[in-house]
């Protein structure tokens, strides 16, 4: 029901009464509110509510409380109450989930939506109505400092996981996808210019954002960097032409914080709706002045404010103290969800001789080595930093799981001589090594930035090499935000586990995997190369860079490289057999769909989850295209010796390339190759083909 809104009655309205408005009702209500607002009030909707003086407090403890923007008290308009992410809610002592890269390794859309649901509840319970943590920047190179905040290197995986997270969050509050676009160098993020062809932009660096737009994301955040010479916040092609016109984005666009724009007038013309988090380049007084001077039309202001109002009305909700209360913060339900995510995210990279799972009856003593084994290592301490009420370390997890049944000794590994002495009679040596916020993260004043090397530190590598000489039963557990080069020591140890930054219950999950309480199922969302030469050019100090079509597994395929561990790879304590690949049609027309089916059998003795992957290749394409690219995936649960039929649907419209001359998407009438299997590695894949006519 639409209420007749006037300046006289709006202050008496309860914003929560808008909860059940839909579609045209939201539009009409927003237009009514807009019609009674003065230019000054409209301008205030387009900037953060704080002055630049509040920046000091943010440096001390960023986002301790929700950050307000566009609150108009005299009209009873609440504005947005921002909280950051993406590991969880930055406010107070919220649940810390594994980092997004780890969750990308789960390939679990349902789980990610449930995590989004928990994040939305914890945010709203703490006074926020806007979550700025749907980070879907494509990982072009694993040295990027904020790699841990995104889901991986593939746009299809990014789009599916980001959309799942926003769906969960938006059951409760507004969500924001970021950083739009081509943001994947940290140290020079405020200045770097990305030179990129329109086809590469549209096919590689934007599809995941479009997927989130198609799924109704409330907001998009522009990036700091420049694209083809223009700052993202001033880039009319990115913001107005592609996002708002081509994609018909109905939400509002916010800037990244502080230096997200350099010129407020250019930003508004380009399509920015809100400057965050302060009144600065788009100060309300400046906006009023620009309109009065004829430098910008009031219609452009009206468009931005209407976008904001529509989303605020769309997400208006009545208070529900049973759902949104402080008892939900890091509740047992949410920490169990974090544990599930950590268990599913851990990737077993190597397991020679089936050393894992450990057979406890044959073990008397386990040595746990490495400073990270007893460190609360949950990721970056930049804008994504969380302050959870507790963190289970690997050492704590192993000790708790074993109890008094097996002796556990610990050593930091500082002195190789002492460490060898302590571990010499251990049946198993668990070596926990990797990175922390000091080596990779957001480029803040205190630390972080792009990684200097993809290899472990010399100390860590020497520790592995030394202990593996005296013990042939070493388990290396890696912590970090993306790929790690392992060549110097990989052949010296039987077991390698990638644990990422595993969150509040990470230590419990690591112990569960090692001891066989959980069958590992995680698969890599990014290639682990043998050397940096297998990767695109990357220089964290550069101010100019060319982004071409190829990176990650597509670059490996194009150049014939063999990585250390391929995209989509991960071992289980079972083996899974793929057979009988079949398609329902051998020829389809443009716009039609095809069903792809195959059988998968669990040949092992344990129940387990397998992540099956669908890739598509293009034969005799008129343009340069990847040998194969991910177009589908699903998790399949199988009991021991069970066989299941798996079916995946493929829409031919998803096989188009972007024609830069006609500015149209083109589905080619050519033969397409279907690849199905457990990873992107050619030897793992079944093949079939179909024709588009």
- Provide the CB-side half-sphere exposure for 440 (13 A, CA): 32
Alpha helices in 424-498 (DSSP H): 458-470
Alpha helices in 522-614 (DSSP H): 552-559
Distance between start and end Cα atoms, the chain? 49
DSSP lists the bridge partners of residue 602 as: 576
Measuring CA to CA, which residue among 673, 454, 432, 457 is closest to residue 563? 454
Determine if residue 60 is left, alpha or beta; phi over 0 gives left, psi from -120 to 50 gives alpha, anything else beta: alpha
Beta strands 130-135; 80-83: pairing state: parallel
Contact 79, 72 (CB under 8 A): yes
Contact 370, 431 (CB under 8 A): yes
Round to whole Å and give the CA distance between 160 and 210.
11
Helix, strand, coil share of the chain (percent; to 5): 35, 25, 45
Residue 249's CB is within 10 A of a number of other CB atoms, namely 24
For 72, which DSSP code? B
Measuring CA to CA, which residue among 646, 682, 486, 672 is closest to residue 568? 682
Could you tell me the two tokens for 662? Answer: 């006609």
Active site residue 327: no
Return the H-helix or E-strand segment holding 591: none
Alpha helices in 388-541 (DSSP H): 394-402, 416-423, 458-470, 506-515
Could you tell me the two tokens for 106? Answer: 């789960």
What three-state secondary structure class fits 411? Answer: strand
Measuring CA to CA, which residue among 474, 528, 475, 654 is closest to residue 147? 528
**Residue-wise burial string across 51-83, b where 16 or more C-beta atoms lie within 10 A, e elsewhere:** eeeeeeebeeebbeebbbbbbbeebebebbbbb
Strand order of the β-sheet with 608-619 is: 587-588, 686-692, 671-677, 608-619, 629-638
Tell me the CA distances in angstroms from 137 to 57, 156, 541, one per residue in order.
28, 12, 19
Contact 91, 80 (CB under 8 A): no
Contact 615, 685 (CB under 8 A): yes
Q: Which of 49, 84, 108, 256 is catalytic?
A: 256
Instruction: Report the catalytic residues.
Output: 256
């Amino acid at each position: 029901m639409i209420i007749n809104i006037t300046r006289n009655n709006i202050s008496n309205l309860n914003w929560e009464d808008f909860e059940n408005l839909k579609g045209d009702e939201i539009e009409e209500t927003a237009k009514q509110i807009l019609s009674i607002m003065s230019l000054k009030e409209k301008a205030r909707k387009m900037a953060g509510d704080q002055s630049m003086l509040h920046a000091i407090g943010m440096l001390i403890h960023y986002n301790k409380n929700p950050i307000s923007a566009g609150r108009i008290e005299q009209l009873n308009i609440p504005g947005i109450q921002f909280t950051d992410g993406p590991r969880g809610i930055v406010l107070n002592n919220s649940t810390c989930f594994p980092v997004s890269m780890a969750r990308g390794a789960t390939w679990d859309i349902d789980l990610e939506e449930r995590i989004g649901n928990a994040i939305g509840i914890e945010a709203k319970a703490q006074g926020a109505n806007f979550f700025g943590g749907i980070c879907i920047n494509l990982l072009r190179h694993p040295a990027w400092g904020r790699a841990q905040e995104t889901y991986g290197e593939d746009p299809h995986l990014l789009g599916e996981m980001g959309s799942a997270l926003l769906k969960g969050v938006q059951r409760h509050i507004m969500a924001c996808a970021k950083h739009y676009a081509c943001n994947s160098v940290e140290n020079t993020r405020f200045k770097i210019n990305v030179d990129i062809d329109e086809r590469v932009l549209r096919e590689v660096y934007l599809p995941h954002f479009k997927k989130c737009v198609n799924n109704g994301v409330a907001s998009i955040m522009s990036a700091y960097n420049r694209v083809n010479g223009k700052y993202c916040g001033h880039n009319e092609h990115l913001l107005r032409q592609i996002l708002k016109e081509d994609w018909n984005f109905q939400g509002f666009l916010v800037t990244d914080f502080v230096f997200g724009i350099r010129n407020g007038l250019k930003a508004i013309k380009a399509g920015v709706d809100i400057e965050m988090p302060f009144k600065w380049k788009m100060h309300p007084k400046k906006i009023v002045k620009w309109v009065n001077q004829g430098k910008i039309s009031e219609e452009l202001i009206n468009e931005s404010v209407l976008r904001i109002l529509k989303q605020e009305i769309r997400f208006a909700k009545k208070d529900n103290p049973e759902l949104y209360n402080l008892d939900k913060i890091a509740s047992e339900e949410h920490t169990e969800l974090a544990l599930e995510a950590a268990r599913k995210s851990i990737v077993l990279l190597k397991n020679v001789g089936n050393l894992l799972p450990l057979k406890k009856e044959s073990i008397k003593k386990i040595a746990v080595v490495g400073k990270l084994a007893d460190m609360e290592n949950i990721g970056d301490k930049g804008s994504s930093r969380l302050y959870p009420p507790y963190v289970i370390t690997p050492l704590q997890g192993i000790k708790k799981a074993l109890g008094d049944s097996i002796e556990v000794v610990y050593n930091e590994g500082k002195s190789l001589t002492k460490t060898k002495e302590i571990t010499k009679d251990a049946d198993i040596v668990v070596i926990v090594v990797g990175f922390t916020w000091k080596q990779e993260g957001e480029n803040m004043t205190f630390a972080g930035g792009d990684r200097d090397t993809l290899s472990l530190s010399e100390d860590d590598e020497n520790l592995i090499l030394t202990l593996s000489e005296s013990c042939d039963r070493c388990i290396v557990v890696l912590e970090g935000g993306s790929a790690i080069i392992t060549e110097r020591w990989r052949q010296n140890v039987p077991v390698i586990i990638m644990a990422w930054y595993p969150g509040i219950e990470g230590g419990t999950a690591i112990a569960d995997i090692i001891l066989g309480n959980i069958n590992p199922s995680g698969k890599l969302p990014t290639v682990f190369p043998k050397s940096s030469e297998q990767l695109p050019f990357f220089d964290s100090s550069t101010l100019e860079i060319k982004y071409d079509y190829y990176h990650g597994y597509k670059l490996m395929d194009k150049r014939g490289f063999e990585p250390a561990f391929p995209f989509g790879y991960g071992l289980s304590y079972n083996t899974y057999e793929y057979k009988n690949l079949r398609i329902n049609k051998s020829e389809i027309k443009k716009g039609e769909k095809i069903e792809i089916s195959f059988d998968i059998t669990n040949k092992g003795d344990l129940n387990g989850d397998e992540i099956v992957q669908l890739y598509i290749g293009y034969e005799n394409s008129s343009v340069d295209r990847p040998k194969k690219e991910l177009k589908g995936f699903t998790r399949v649960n199988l009991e021991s010796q069970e066989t299941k039929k798996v079916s995946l649907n493929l829409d031919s419209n998803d096989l188009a390339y972007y024609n830069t001359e006609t500015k149209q998407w083109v589905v080619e009438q050519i033969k397409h190759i279907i690849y199905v299997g457990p990873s992107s590695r050619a030897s793992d894949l079944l093949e079939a083909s179909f024709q588009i006519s």
